[in-house]
């Protein structure tokens, strides 16, 4: 067991081209505090600044287009106003010595027509309805039945990612993470449970991985591959009741290998079921990491000792923490000192103002 001075967890490195002061990342966290147009309020500046001692902040899932939105009050990165709303956030994090990337998000079928322009149906690889609930203008409601995208529409979708990636650059981020996890659009294409297409974007693993690869390639053209990461969740069904792929190890392994060839900054894996307490065994994440070949960020249910072990054993280059960063803005320092962690009440996770968002004490203030 390594001590604080021996473990690599608190040491700096580079993830792709992005300098990180330690191996602790802040996982992307939906907090639903933007306005209805997807513009952050100044509260988000304080929120991210307070957490800038994370080696890398992966800012919350952010809509790449109006069509890509599935939850009210989530931020966007497709208008000039979005750029202006994000810019002071990135400036504040940089002034505090941190690094910050933005997660690019299209929800696909996990949406409701009352969040779409002109009440349109959400889009998906196939017209298969998602389960669960989405946070709409009228509170929680089941997702609307989606419409299957026409082959001719796919190039426009890639263009939406390109536009969002360009805007993220204008907003001063250090890079972007493409969200290919949690049952949203790109994972809907990847899994044979949600993709029943018969064109070049459906059928074989190669075909189902085509859109994620096209999107990541397009985004890497804008940023340079060494500033682009990808998030995967091979074994998660938590959001949208999304059934697993029939051969996850092969499907995600193929995608990871192809992404590795692009020379990306990192692969970020949710190990097990999203929001569960711990990783489950039924998937070989080391094989996934090996197929990718580059830096690996491990996530889901890690505690301090697990994070130390993951980094020191070579399992991961970084470990990301989600919920612990909500109530502990100085999580890095608390882990360094092995201090108690504050458990933020779940009521404050989504929506509201400063309460439960920017009002958590640091160790030194407490
Ligand atoms: C919680 C609530 C809404 C969205 C994810 C973007 O899980 C999310 C999300 C999480 O990836």
Residue to probe by mutation, ligand 1, list 182, 185, 320, most atoms within 8 Å of CB? 182
Please check whether residue 101 lies inside any domain of the structure.
yes
pLDDT at residue 231 tops 70: yes
**Residue 275 pLDDT level (bands cut at 50, 70, 90):** confident
Please check whether residue 96 lies inside any domain of the structure.
yes
Give the domain extent around 288: 8-348
Catalytic positions: 184
- Mean pLDDT, the chain, rounded, equals 96
Ligand 1: residues with CB < 6 A are 30, 61, 71, 182, 239, 274
Phi, psi of 80 (to 5 degrees): -65, -30
Atom of ligand 1 nearest to the CA of 105: 6
Please check whether residue 363 lies inside any domain of the structure.
no
Please check whether residue 221 lies inside any domain of the structure.
yes
**Residue 280 pLDDT level (bands cut at 50, 70, 90):** low
Its pTM stands at: 0.97
The protein residue whose alpha carbon is closest to atom 7 in ligand 1 is 182
Q: Residue 32 Cα, ligand 1 centroid: separation in angstroms?
A: 10
Burial per residue of 4-15, b for 16 or more beta-carbon CB atoms within 10 angstroms, e otherwise? eeebbbbeebeb
Average pLDDT over residues 249-271: 98
Please check whether residue 1 lies inside any domain of the structure.
no
Q: Residue 214 Cα, ligand 1 centroid: separation in angstroms?
A: 23
What CATH number is associated with residue 340?
3.20.20.70
Residue from 105, 103, 101, 149 nearest 126 by CA: 149
Note the pLDDT of residue 218: 98
Q: For residues 293 and 178, what is the distance between their CA atoms, to the nearest angstrom? A: 18
Atom of ligand 1 nearest to the CA of 275: 7
Q: Please name the residues in contact with 256: beta carbons below 8 A apart, sequence gap of 6 or more.
A: 232, 267, 288, 289, 291, 292
The protein residue whose alpha carbon is closest to atom 9 in ligand 1 is 30
The protein residue whose alpha carbon is closest to atom 5 in ligand 1 is 182
Please check whether residue 21 lies inside any domain of the structure.
yes
Do β-strands 228-232 and 266-270 pair in parallel, antiparallel, or remain unpaired?
parallel
Tell me the two tokens of residue 303.
């505690």
Atom of ligand 1 nearest to the CA of 239: 7
Q: For residues 35 and 72, what is the distance between their CA atoms, to the nearest angstrom? A: 8
Q: Residue 260 Cα, ligand 1 centroid: separation in angstroms?
A: 25
Q: For residues 278 and 272, what is the distance between their CA atoms, to the nearest angstrom? A: 7
pLDDT in tens, 88-142: 999 999 999 999 999 999 999 999 999 999 999 999 999 999 999 999 889 899 9
Please check whether residue 141 lies inside any domain of the structure.
yes
Q: Residue 105 Cα, ligand 1 centroid: separation in angstroms?
A: 10
Q: For residues 210 and 80, what is the distance between their CA atoms, to the nearest angstrom? A: 30
Q: Residue 289 Cα, ligand 1 centroid: separation in angstroms?
A: 23
The protein residue whose alpha carbon is closest to atom 1 in ligand 1 is 30
Residue to probe by mutation, ligand 1, list 132, 140, 239, 322, most atoms within 8 Å of CB? 239
pLDDT in tens, 97-108: 999 999 999 999
pLDDT in tens, 160-205: 999 999 999 999 999 999 999 999 999 999 999 999 999 999 999 9
pLDDT at residue 79 tops 80: yes
Note the pLDDT of residue 5: 83
DSSP at 339:
P
Domain count along the chain: 1
Four-residue CA torsion sign, 105, 110, 115, 117: positive
pLDDT at residue 283 tops 70: yes
pLDDT at residue 61 tops 70: yes
Residue to probe by mutation, ligand 1, list 27, 71, 350, most atoms within 8 Å of CB? 71
Note the pLDDT of residue 282: 86
Q: Residue 337 Cα, ligand 1 centroid: separation in angstroms?
A: 30
- Which residue intervals of the chain are DSSP H helices? 43-50, 80-95, 154-170, 185-190, 205-208, 210-223, 248-261, 285-292, 304-312, 323-327, 331-337
The protein residue whose alpha carbon is closest to atom 3 in ligand 1 is 30
Average pLDDT over residues 14-20: 98
pLDDT at residue 2 tops 70: no
Give the 3-state secondary structure of 217-266: HHHHHHHCHHHEEEEECCCCCCCCCCCCCCCHHHHHHHHHHHHHHCCCCE
pLDDT in tens, 286-332: 999 999 999 999 999 999 999 999 999 999 999 999 999 999 999 99
Please check whether residue 353 lies inside any domain of the structure.
no
Tell me the two tokens of residue 244.
């697993």
Terminal alpha carbon distance of the chain: 30
Note the pLDDT of residue 277: 64
């Amino acid at each position: 067991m390594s001590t604080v001075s021996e473990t690599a967890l608190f040491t700096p490195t580079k993830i792709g081209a992005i300098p990180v002061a330690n191996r602790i990342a802040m996982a992307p966290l939906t907090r639903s505090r933007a306005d209805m147009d997807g513009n952050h309020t100044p509260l988000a500046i304080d929120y991210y600044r307070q957490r800038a001692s994370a080696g890398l902040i992966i800012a919350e899932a952010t809509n790449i287009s109006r069509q890509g939105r599935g939850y009210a009050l989530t931020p966007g990165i497709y208008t000039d106003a979005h750029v202006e709303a994000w810019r002071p956030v990135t400036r504040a994090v940089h002034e505090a010595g941190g690094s910050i990337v933005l997660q690019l998000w299209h929800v696909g079928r996990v949406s409701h027509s009352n969040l779409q322009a002109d009440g349109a149906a959400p889009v998906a690889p196939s017209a298969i309805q998602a389960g669960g609930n989405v946070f709409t203008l009228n509170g929680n409601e089941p997702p609307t039945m989606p419409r299957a995208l026409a082959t001719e529409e796919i190039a426009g979708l890639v263009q939406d990612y390109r536009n969002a990636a360009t805007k993220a650059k204008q907003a001063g981020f250090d890079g972007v993470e493409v969200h290919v996890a949690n049952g949203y659009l790109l994972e809907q294409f990847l899994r044979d449970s949600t993709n029943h297409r018969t064109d070049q974007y459906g059928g074989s693993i190669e075909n189902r991985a085509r859109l994620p690869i096209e999107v990541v390639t397009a985004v890497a053209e804008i940023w340079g591959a060494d500033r682009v990461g990808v998030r995967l969740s091979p074994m998660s069904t938590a959001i949208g009741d999304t059934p697993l792929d029939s051969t996850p190890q092969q499907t995600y392994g193929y995608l990871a290998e192809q992404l590795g060839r692009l020379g990306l900054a990192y692969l970020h894996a949710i190990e097990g079921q999203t929001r569960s307490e711990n990783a489950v065994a039924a998937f070989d994440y080391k094989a996934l990491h090996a197929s990718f070949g580059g830096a690996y960020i491990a996530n889901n249910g890690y505690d301090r000792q697990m994070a130390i072990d993951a980094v020191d054993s070579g399992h991961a280059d970084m470990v990301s923490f989600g919920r612990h960063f909500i109530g502990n803005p100085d999580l890095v320092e608390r882990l360094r000192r092995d201090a108690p962690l504050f458990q933020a009440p779940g009521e404050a996770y989504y929506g509201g103002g400063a309460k439960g968002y920017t009002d958590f004490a640091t160790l030194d203030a407490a």
